[in-house]
Structure 1
Amino acid sequence: MSNKPAVSGGWSDLYKKEDWWAVWLGLGLVIAALLLWLSGSSISSISVSIPKWSEFGSVTSFLGANFGSLVLMFIAFAVVFSIAVKILGHQLSEFIPGFILIFIASVLVSIFGAWEWASKYNLEAPLVALALGLIIGNIVKMPKWMEASLRTEFYVKVGIVLLGATLPFTKIVQAGPVAFTQATIIAVSTFLTIYFAGSRLFGLDKRFAATLGAGGSICGVSASIAIGGAVKADKQHVSVAISLVVVWAIIMIYALPVFISVFGIPAGPAGAWIGTSEFADAAGMAAAAAIGDQAITTFTLMKVVGRDMFVGIWCFILAIVSITMWEKREDGTKPQTSEIWFRFPKFVLGFFVASALITMVIAGSDAPTSQSITDNIIKPITTLRTWAFIFCFLAIGLTTRFKELTSVGWRPFAAFTTGVLINVPLGYIFSILVLGGYWVAVAVK
């Protein structure tokens, strides 16, 4: 069988490729939110966020009062995903039953994650979803019909497009050139460390090393999937990168707040340090929340704005590098440069378009209008994005086998850990020693 890449289908790619469907679905939800807001309504009716609770009676009361909205949210997700899945060639008779199970499990996970006891131990919903998926997936063999609903990459791609809508370009201005420079220096340093350690010290395939580097330096799971696709990394290698991101993310949830507390680091610089040294958004938010609201503010500006925005740029750069330097076909020739466009993750374009749309709406708005946009567009989309990531993490767990991960040996762990040993101290130096005053000022604005 030939390993030559498939020729692009031209215009048909717009409805035959998963990447494009992530764009259409993500942007469709954003546009729907905008139109509803302009008409005086909101997408909030299909955007349900489980509130924090300490007594189970309060969560049952909430579910009873919002059951209709929860059903509407399920229907909205099921309909839009089903349209894409059907056109992509999967059986709805398999996808729908599987997605029902995933949605129910995600609701249960969200309820658990909103429990004050779980919050105390930083057990955020996406991480709980991953843990639950891993336990079930490694004990029970998934039936064949479940495969259609375990669309790991599809869920995260839709989530990334929605992420763009929650990151208008105005936030980059708010973060400032100093913060953006810090994020750039640390992200590039960490990526290069992991890449060169992996490819040269530990002899890993360059595409595998690049996927590890992206997961450790940009936006964790999302970057591992996006970059892995851009450089045509082996699927198993992407799974290993995701697993290492999650392992170190969990370690940092507990290690960073303890260190910050022991040394009395102010909340602003602490949040910025977490933003440069955490490896997943959900885990980083949990760690920042343990410090306080000011830490959440600076964490968001550094991690979500300063680092997550890099995913599109890195996808483009590494697709070029992979095609022009790393890959050869069976006949010894290089892939054509036009393949850069075919391979570039199109959902990243959706990310930027979504960000541009919200930016244009916010630009020039007065304070009450801007607050209305936040309450009726950005917050509901953020909730839908969180649900998409929960679906993704649950699917990752259900499709990950520990035996497969251990088969690659210790070298990926060693390469990733080398990056951690550079990333964490460098983040401390910039966030506390060099720019501590800047982050204190930003946190209290």
Structure 2
Amino acid sequence: MTTSSTDDVRPAPTPVNETDALAPEPDRPGAVSWPAVAAALAVVLALAYLTKYLDKNVPEWLADTSLARIAKSVEYPVYAIAIGLLGNLVLTATGVRDRLASAFRTEFFIKTGLVLLGVSINLSLLVTAAGPAIVQALLLISGVFLFAWWIGGRLGLDDRLRALLASAVSICGVSAAIAAAGAVRARREQLAYAASLVILFALPSIFLLPWLADVLGLGDAVAGAWIGGNIDTTAAVTAAGALAGEDALRIATIVKVTQNALIGVVAVALTAYFAYRVERRTDAARPRPVELWHRFPKFVLGFVAASIIGTVYANSVPAAENTATQAVAANFRTWFLILAFVSIGLEFRLTALREAGWRPIAVFASATVANILLALALAAVLFRGFTV
């Protein structure tokens, strides 16, 4: 890799030190500004309330117009993301977005929403779907990761950025990129490139894949497995699954949670590879088995626990009482997901993509196409005839 251009996002070939490498937010003194957190939370809550308001009233406002059918088909993920993007533009124009950006908590909102989703998923569905979901996850992650790593090398990307992009596109977007960044000691700007690409490609997928699933006549299980295996972020998977239908959402969530569970495995593998092969430093810290637990996404355990609790509760109370409880859990889930989708729009950064140049975009786009095709093929084979 001897070429250089304005599009090349490789870091300077100097040793990575603590100021250059990505460090977890809590490790940096003063990283959390509580006034910024409070202000950001107020913004997200206000936009979430606006989302809920529009979701409830727009169909009524347009009931007697030619747009009535469209208004009924547009659901809260569409409003939430669109409002988040508009809020992003306003905050950027007023110059306050950068002060609030570190306090937007998409990951927290989506993980809480998914744990609540687990309450509505019967344990029997979780158990029966786990087998094909694991097979799909292993084949899909391996194939797409290796393809993205290969094409990134062909285009001369820095190994650390290759690791971030390959992890993000093959596993679960920003979460995987963050885990990979810690494992390979990536630079903060490289994580910004990867995160922005994830959001850029996830947004159209939210609407495109449910539409294509309908056009192709895919069953709920196949559509859900395709959405869960293909879209990079858990939040976007949930949004697309909600548009595809409740049954498709359940399968999509199980498939995505299965892939999320492999973040730890990939992160530890990258840690070992970079320590022993890429950095080739004799004093490099050796990866320990406990790292697997540190990297493991703990919300997966919450999702499974919620499913177990929900199943036991449903089998031990009258149906009417269970329905009422499920409705309460679903309402809380909806609010947390709205907060997450609003935050997706607020976190999008177009400047990071412009700074990255065309090479990371070409790698991510190529891997996304490969991911779409491979995920569709695997979903069609593994979930054919599967009943939700």
Work out whether residues 197 and 353 of structure 2, in 8 Å CA contact, stay in contact via their aligned partners in 1: no
Deviations 1:92-137 (A, max 9, x none): 4454344333432343345446655395288535533552344235
Matching of residues 178-217 of structure 1 within 5 Å: 178-198=132-152, 200-217=153-170
The runs of 5 or more residues in structure 1 that have no matched partner are: 7-15, 20-84
Corresponding letter in the other structure for 2:46 = I
Q: Match for 1:101 among 27, 32, 43? A: 43
1:245 is displaced (CA, Å) by 1.8
1:317 is aligned to 2:269: yes
Partner of 1:419: 367
Instruction: Name the Cα RMSD after superposition.
Output: 4.1
Contact 1:103 1:391 in 2 (8 A): no
* Paired residue total: 353
Contact 2:192 2:352 in 1 (8 A): no
- Contact 1:109 1:129 survives alignment (8 Å): yes
* Corresponding residue to 1:336 among 285, 293, 297: 285
Judge conservation of contact 1:184–1:306 (CA < 8 Å) in 2.
Answer: no
Q: Report sequence identity in percent.
A: 22
- Checking the alignment, whether the CA contact within 8 Å between 2:148 and 2:367 is kept in structure 1 is yes
Q: Which amino acid aligns with 1:324?
A: Y
Question: What's the offset of the Cα at 1:414?
Answer: 0.9
Q: Secondary structure at the match of 1:442?
A: coil
Amino acid aligned to 1:386:
L
The CA deviation string for residues 209-239 of structure 1, in whole angstroms up to 9 with x for no partner, is 1211222122223322333233322222222
Q: Distance in 2 between matches of 1:97 and 1:165?
A: 26
One-letter amino acid matched to 2:198: V
* Letter paired with 2:38: I
Q: Partner letter of residue 405 of structure 1? A: L
Residue aligned with 1:421, SS: helix
1:132–1:176 distance in 2 versus 1, CA, 3 Å? same
TM-score by length of 2: 0.73
For residues 176 and 158 of structure 1, the distance between their equivalents in structure 2, rounded to whole angstroms, comes to 24
Instruction: Tell me the CA shift for residue 424 of structure 1.
Output: 1.4
The answer to whether the Cα contact below 8 Å between 1:276 and 1:302 also exists between their aligned partners in 2 is yes
After superposition, the Cα gap between the structure-2 partners of 1:223 and 1:382, relative to the gap in structure 1 and judged at 3 Å, is farther
Alignment-derived partner of residue 127 in structure 2: 173
Q: Which amino acid aligns with 1:414?
A: A
> Matches of 2:331 and 2:263 in 1, distance apart?
23
Match of 1:135 in 2: 89
Look up the match of 2:172: 219
Distance 1:101 1:309, change over 3 A: same
Q: What is the CA-CA distance between 1:393 and the residue it aligns to? A: 2.5
- By how many angstroms is 1:240 displaced? 1.9
- Asked if the contact 1:268–1:442 (Cα under 8 Å) also holds between the matched residues in 2, the reply is yes
Contact 1:277–1:423 under 8 Å retained in 2:
yes
Could you tell me how far apart the structure 2 residues matched to 1:266 and 1:131 are? 32
Residues 131-184 of structure 1: CA distance to partner in whole angstroms, max 9, x if unpaired? 23442354332277x34x7324x6525754774575589464231312320122
366-375 vs 209-218, which moves further = 366-375
Q: Does 1:393 align with 2:338?
A: no
Q: Distance in 2 between matches of 1:259 and 1:188?
A: 25
Equivalent residues of 1:160, 1:348 under 8 A apart: no
Aligned partner of 2:251 in structure 1 is 298
What TM-score does the superposition give when structure 1 sets the normalisation length? 0.65
Pick one of 297, 302, 307 that aligns with 1:354.
Answer: 302
- The Cα shift of 1:284 comes to 3.2
Measure, in 1, the Cα distance between the counterparts of 2:72 and 2:92. 23
Q: Report which stretch shifted further, 87-96 or 259-268.
A: 87-96
